[in-house]
Copies of this chain bind each other. A is one copy, B any other.
């Protein structure tokens, strides 16, 4: 399938699942060389999971189907630009390309917080509306460093 065909499928998926009451109007497809390997749609309200955005669900579905945590070379098609959560997830999954339709300002125009969260992440920790506080940094750092010495670990 071409980029446009995959985008049309993502737009259709978003609409159908929104109308079925699954959640917000977002749909995602992961493909390799134009061949679909997984799809996902927003299920935040229907599954009581604020992380269940279309892209996250789609990444999880693709990884389950392929039995890997590494989607190097795969491409994500989504009807709206990913929020920071989903964009960072795409980096962790090592996706190669994101093809999107509407952008995060369009998401803001229908009431979603994407643009706000992008602006919050760009602020210093002390200036964010979500309060962040550091405690016991040395103990925590000592714990992290055990990772370096761990044998047989799987890097990701």
Query: Which residues of chain A have a CB within 8 Å of any CB of chain B?
Result: 3-4, 7-8, 11, 14-15, 18-19, 21, 23-25, 44-45, 48-51, 53, 56, 59-60, 63-64, 67-71, 79-81, 83-103, 106-107, 109-111, 113, 116-118, 120-122, 130-137, 139-141, 143-148, 150, 152, 154-156
Q: Contact at A131–B89, with CB atoms within 8 Å?
A: no
Q: Contact at B101–A140, with CB atoms within 8 Å?
A: yes
Report 19 cross-chain contacts, Cβ distance below 8 Å, ordered by A residue. A3-B133, A3-B135, A4-B135, A25-B143, A25-B144, A44-B156, A48-B68, A49-B60, A50-B69, A51-B59, A85-B88, A88-B117, A95-B130, A98-B131, A99-B133, A99-B135, A100-B134, A102-B141, A103-B137
Q: Contact at A133–B51, with CB atoms within 8 Å?
A: no
Bound form: Cα–Cα A70–B90 in Å: 24
Q: Contact at B146–A18, with CB atoms within 8 Å?
A: yes
Bound form: Cα–Cα A24–B134 in Å: 20
Q: Which residues of B contact A68 (CB under 8 A)?
A: 48
Known: A11-B139, A99-B134. 18 other contacts (CB 8 A): A7-B136, A15-B146, A24-B147, A45-B69, A48-B69, A49-B69, A84-B85, A84-B121, A85-B88, A88-B121, A90-B130, A91-B113, A91-B116, A92-B117, A100-B132, A102-B137, A111-B147, A122-B122
Distance from A81 Cβ to chain B, minimum over Cβ atoms (Å): 8
Contacting A98 at CB < 8 Å: which of B109, B133, B137, B144?
A: B133
